[in-house]
Amino acid sequence: METKFIFITGGVLSSLGKGITAASIGTLLKASGFSVGILKLDPYINVDPGTMSPLEHGEVFVTKDGAETDLDLGHYERFLNTSLTKDNNFTTGKIYLSVLEKERRGEYLGKTIQVVPHIVNEIKERIYNAGKGKDILIVELGGTVGDIEGLPFLETIRQIKHEKGSANVMNIHVTLLPYIKAAGELKTKPTQHSVQELRRIGITPNMIILRSEHPIPREIKEKVALSCDVDKESVIEARDAATIYRVPLNFLSQDILKPIAKQLELGDFKTDIGEWSDLVNKILHPSDSVRIAFVGKYLDLKESYKSLTEALIHAGANLDLKVDIKWVDSEEIEEDGAKKFLEDVDGILVAGGFGKRGVEGKIEAIRYARENKVPFLGICLGMQLSIIEYARNVLGLKEANSVEFDPNTKEPLIYLIDSFIDANGQRQIRTTSSPLGGTMRLGEYKCNVKEGSNLYKAYNSKIIYERHRHRYEANPKYKEALEKAGMIVTGESDGLIEAVEVKNHPWFVGVQFHPEFTSRLQKPNEIILAFVKAAKELSKK
């Protein structure tokens, strides 16, 4: 069938969970047998979020092909159980960059370059491209209607409706119904204004999804339907859910697919959401629990570890366990020691990170895990620090460090390699003066796994593929000494160290890659699953 488009815009304010809404609708359509593509448009000017602070932007999600993208892509992959690419997210900056490059090459044949048609056409082309071969493409527009940066995108949406016709395009608008305590009322006015703003730009919403902290009475839904000129059945309630994975089920129970099928002329179909619903049940009513310490910094901004916390939920759901996360600020370990924070946990996780702050506390946490035989998983920086810890405290190399923290260290256990072959087969050159944007080892790489290792047991495979996002590497010069002393390299990729394990320890694994990026509710990541399982089993003993 010809690709149909569902555009999701937001009104009133940001952070309404448009990403979860888009992913949930996608999940339902996929479970109904359609092939579903999904695309996030980000109106900000940065070329990609790679150089934005996690405090600004939350997590940077890395796709298989090495694109640094918006964290909503993570939700899309986790919900739709699919791998996306760099074509599934772009920003205003990326659009302008490519239009300007074309202009410099003279591709516009002397024309004046304008927002309409040139910028809009560039956006349109990329939307059509993302929809190729799909029955339905869901397109989420970041930001809120009324943002200046969003205008070219909204104009594109308007034009696509014009080009493709109303049986092929649906506009869904997500807004907030604020509850005013003093009046004891849910207020519809902001929604009405937001819809008016959309109409002014030439877009008529076909469905309104109302975020609300309270149940929405029928009269209010009818009022929204009337004032915003949508069918009653197209006003959908999105109440705060106990878990984000409940949202598709909440939508389904309101028959959300009926108006969608009607608008897009999808015909008859059945929706099979049984497996999903079982997993959600296990998230909500687990039989047992396990306590994992999550040692990191930026703990006040848990959004920057979104994929990892979701991956723990996936592992838990599949093991019928609640994974209780104990957040431990590594700087507090520096002050009070590791024991105080870690003696009551079943497993210790040290996640990825950048910069020197809190690093010594993380090293202390790793030492605690190693010496007390607590199951340990170190991810990216967590693996690098586990090597530094081993070198310092077992090999006796007191000055062991990463050149990231001490550029002149005498024992560069973690160093900067100056050239490597990237995911596209091209040689990349790195120096200390390389620009920071887009210069990391990014995306999926093959890793050869040592048979018999915990890594091997987790994946049950000699070759695995996982995603990367880092600048530094473990230095192979120390491999022999580390292995002699009991820290074994169990994963390698073209001479680069991808995983280490400690021999005389029940479960101690460090991985250079980010396993959390490939975890989905229906298919939890193997090494994270194995870690949670080990934590549970060993705590029983």
Active site residue ranges:
380, 514, 516
Among 5, 76, 354, 459, binds ligand GLN (CB under 6 A): 354
Pairing status of strand 411-415 against strand 400-402: parallel
The single-letter DSSP state of residue 316 is H
Please answer whether residues 330 and 295 qualify as being in contact, where contact means their C-beta atoms are separated by less than 8 angstroms: yes
Kindly tell me the number of DSSP H helices and DSSP E strands found in the chain: 19, 25
Question: Least CB distance from residue 471 to ligand GLN, whole Å?
Answer: 4
Q: What track of x and - describes contact with ligand GLN for positions 213 through 242 (by CB under 6 A)?
A: ------------------------------
Q: What track of x and - describes contact with ligand GLN for positions 313 through 352 (by CB under 6 A)?
A: ---------------------------------------x
Question: Least CB distance from residue 470 to ligand GLN, whole Å?
Answer: 3
Report the 3 state secondary structure along 425-442: CCEEECCCCCCCCCCCEE
Is residue 472 within the footprint of ligand GLN (CB under 6 A)?
Answer: yes
Is residue 498 within the footprint of ligand GLN (CB under 6 A)?
Answer: no
Is residue 59 within the footprint of ligand GLN (CB under 6 A)?
Answer: no
Among 173, 470, 505, 533, binds ligand GLN (CB under 6 A): 470
Q: What track of x and - describes contact with ligand GLN for positions 368 through 397 (by CB under 6 A)?
A: ------------xx----------------
| 298 dihedral zone (left: phi>0; alpha: psi -120 to 50; beta) | left
CB closest to ligand GLN, residue no:
352
Among 404, 411, 498, 526, binds ligand GLN (CB under 6 A): 404
Is residue 71 within the footprint of ligand GLN (CB under 6 A)?
Answer: no
Matching residue, tokens 């994946």: 459
CA 24 to chain centre: 15
CA neighbor of 15 nearest in space, from 143, 140, 138: 143
C-alpha pair distances (Å), 296 with each of 293, 348, 357, 405, 527: 10, 11, 10, 16, 19
Span from 5-13, 74-82, 101-109, 463-471 in contact with ligand GLN (CB under 6 A): 463-471
Give CA torsion, residues 401, 402, 405, 409, to 10 deg: 60
Span from 169-177, 301-309, 368-376, 467-475 in contact with ligand GLN (CB under 6 A): 467-475
* Cβ closest to ligand GLN, residue 85 vs residue 439: 439
Pairing status of strand 235-239 against strand 207-212: parallel
Question: Least CB distance from residue 523 to ligand GLN, whole Å?
Answer: 23
* Cβ closest to ligand GLN, residue 380 vs residue 521: 380
Question: Least CB distance from residue 381 to ligand GLN, whole Å?
Answer: 3
Pairing status of strand 179-180 against strand 169-176: unpaired
Among 164, 262, 302, 471, binds ligand GLN (CB under 6 A): 471
Task: Count residues binding ligand GLN (CB under 6 A).
Answer: 10
Give CA torsion, residues 536, 304, 498, 507, to 10 deg: -10
C-alpha pair distances (Å), 178 with each of 141, 188, 191, 213, 319: 22, 8, 10, 8, 38
* Cβ closest to ligand GLN, residue 236 vs residue 383: 383
* Cβ closest to ligand GLN, residue 453 vs residue 512: 512
Question: Least CB distance from residue 439 to ligand GLN, whole Å?
Answer: 10
Q: Can you read off the two tokens belonging to residue 57?
A: 């932007």
* Cβ closest to ligand GLN, residue 347 vs residue 352: 352
Question: Least CB distance from residue 352 to ligand GLN, whole Å?
Answer: 3
Q: Please say whether the dihedral angle defined by the alpha carbons of residues 246, 252, 253 and 254, taken in this order, is positive or negative.
A: positive
C-alpha pair distances (Å), 85 with each of 64, 89, 99, 495: 6, 8, 21, 27
CB atoms under 10 Å from CB of 222, counted, come to 12
CA neighbor of 464 nearest in space, from 512, 507, 401, 394: 512
Span from 40-48, 387-395, 455-463, 470-478 in contact with ligand GLN (CB under 6 A): 470-478
Is residue 353 within the footprint of ligand GLN (CB under 6 A)?
Answer: yes
Is residue 526 within the footprint of ligand GLN (CB under 6 A)?
Answer: no
Strand partners, 474: 414
Rg (CA), the chain: 25
Is residue 251 within the footprint of ligand GLN (CB under 6 A)?
Answer: no
Is residue 517 within the footprint of ligand GLN (CB under 6 A)?
Answer: no
* Cβ closest to ligand GLN, residue 323 vs residue 381: 381
* Cβ closest to ligand GLN, residue 12 vs residue 509: 509
Please answer whether residues 530 and 454 qualify as being in contact, where contact means their C-beta atoms are separated by less than 8 angstroms: yes
d(CA 239, CA 246): 11
Amino acid at 146: G
* Cβ closest to ligand GLN, residue 42 vs residue 404: 404
Question: Least CB distance from residue 379 to ligand GLN, whole Å?
Answer: 7
- The footprint of ligand GLN on residues 419-448 (CB under 6 A) is none
CB atoms under 10 Å from CB of 1, counted, come to 13
Is residue 479 within the footprint of ligand GLN (CB under 6 A)?
Answer: no
The residues of the shown chain that bind ligand GLN, judged by CB under 6 A, are 352-354, 380-381, 404, 469-472
